[in-house]
Amino acid sequence: MNIKYRTNKRTTRENKKNGVTWLTYDIFEQCHIKCAVSTRLGGVSEGYLGTMNMSTTRGDKAEYVEKNHEIFAEAVGYDRKRLVMSDQIHETTVLRIDEADAGKGVVRRGVDGLMTDVPKLPLMTFYADCVPLMFYDTKHHVIAMSHSGWRGTVMRIGKITLQRMHEEYGTLPCNVAAAIGPSICQSCYEVDEPLLEAFTGEFGSEAEKWFLPSDKEAHYLLDLAAACRYTLIDAGMDEADIAMPDLCTCCNPDYLFSHRASNGKRGNLSVVMELL
């Protein structure tokens, strides 16, 4: 498969086992955690959902999704019976997950972020162009992950995630390693004037750096990952501790699910994190 990378700098590593392909981040290599981003490869779903669709919300057969979870967990190496998943609505709720939540699946509706300090308790969020944000507090041994579409980015869900980690576990941004996952790149993400105004209303002139003019009148190309990075740095993180995405979902629709590339006919990728 001819994969198109968005930068010359690789931040992810491709992993394969039993026909399943997933991505890991080099920034977490020395951390005592597991972090894996699924691809489209290795599952049993069919058609536009093929093959590794990880979500029950896209019209897939329940038995196919269940089998995909079984296959993915076996390949990556986590206990899917203990899995806790998000139920995303493009807002900013980041929920603390404890041992009592293990295996409940969706613990609460309307959650775009999860965090825990419990070992061997896998957390999972879902994507198909929106930005995965993954965090590890190296001092307090805490993981967190949040789903940042354009609404979540405008509302600074990255900063809110760091604040919630501080509230619950004492996390300081200077002790955090973070990765911004595979997501839609600037050249693929055309947006309109109201969205530009939403970003400039929140971030002021800083937001102008994330927009380029489009060929279409009153439309622009938005670098959503750059906006997420700014949010994390503005919250106190060091830029060197943030891994940027090297893959665009929309540029690689046969490898990663993309809402834009498929006009909405797609499955969902997943990100799973677990403390070891």
Backbone angles phi, psi at 77, to 5 degrees: 95, 55
Please, which residues bridge with residue 134 across strands? 145, 179
Average pLDDT over residues 222-226: 98
Q: What is the pTM of this model?
A: 0.98
Sheet holding 113-116, edge to edge: 94-96, 113-116, 142-148, 131-137, 176-180, 242-243
The crossing angle, in degrees rounded to 10, of helices 193-203 and 224-234 is 10
Q: How many CB atoms lie within 10 A of CB 140?
A: 16
- Residue with structure tokens 């579409």? 149
pLDDT in tens, 181-219: 999 999 999 999 999 999 999 999 999 999 999 999 999
pLDDT in tens, 113-161: 999 999 999 999 999 999 999 999 999 999 999 999 999 999 999 999 9
Average pLDDT over residues 7-36: 96
Which of 153, 182, 177 has its CA nearest to residue 6? Answer: 182
Cα angle 131, 134, 136 (rounded to 5 degrees) comes to: 165
Q: Which domains does the chain have, with CATH numbers?
A: 12-185+244-275 (3.60.140.10)
- DSSP category for residue 248: B
**3-class SS shares of the chain: helix, strand, coil, % to 5:** 30, 30, 40
Q: Are 68 and 80 in contact (CB under 8 A)?
A: no
Q: Are 11 and 253 in contact (CB under 8 A)?
A: no
